Amino acid sequence: MLYCPSCGTGNEDDAAFCKTCGRALNDVKQMRAGVNTPAESPRIDDEGVLLAADGLPVGHDLDGAPGGERMLWKGRPSFIGSPIRSLTIRFELTNERLKVARGFISRHRQEIDLYRIQDVEVTQGPVQRIFDLGQVNIYSSDASTPIYSMHDVPHPEHVKDMIRQGSRIERQRRRVILRDEV
């Protein structure tokens, strides 16, 4: 349905002129074609598993339960940016939380629930931009770690987008609403 900007009358999609006032509707058709359609809501199969655009499940199943936790991304700091961190830190992003394991001999594990993440940002210095590395800063409502920084992450924009999308989907699944403090 095309609506005339002059009189507001609804016209058929293939109409060249408004049926009430006679105004040409070519510009309305061009504007309508240029507007991006809203993003599709996440596709979920009968068992509650998130599906990618190709119809396959997203990530590796961790617990075997229908609609359970799935691995979305595994990573570590780049050896180029920090050789010691690359040996001692591991990141795992699931559809429910971000897990960080630190240590070489002894381990310290930390988790941030995705529904608590409020914002994600990437900072890159000139050398990091050359090697496509960066620092991903995560701002959350988690009491133990309100701000967490992942240093020297390869492809930081991609990681940021995955965290942001996972956070949005997990908030929708849990029906959590973020409120801004004014």
Coil, strand, or helix at residue 174? helix
Virtual CA dihedral for 114, 118, 123, 129, nearest 10 degrees?
50
Q: Average per-residue pLDDT in the chain? A: 83
Encoded tokens for 98:
């971000």
Summarised one tens digit per residue, pLDDT across range 84-121 is 999 999 999 998 999 999 998 999 999 999 999 999 99
62 DSSP 8-state letter: S
Q: Number of helices (H) and strands (E), helices first, in the chain?
A: 4, 12
Summarised one tens digit per residue, pLDDT across range 60-71 is 667 766 667 888
Rounded to whole angstroms, how far apart are CA atoms 69 and 58?
11
Q: Does 23 or 139 have the greater pLDDT score?
A: 139
Q: What is the pTM of this model?
A: 0.65
**CATH number for the domain whose boundaries are 43-174:** 2.30.29.30
> Please, what sign has the CA dihedral across residues 148, 150, 151, 157?
negative
The one-letter amino acid code at 103 reads G
Per domain, the residue ranges of the chain are 2-34, 43-174
Rounded to whole angstroms, how far apart are CA atoms 157 and 161?
6
The pLDDT assigned to 182 comes to 59
39 DSSP 8-state letter: P
The pLDDT assigned to 146 comes to 93
The pLDDT assigned to 47 comes to 62
96 DSSP 8-state letter: S
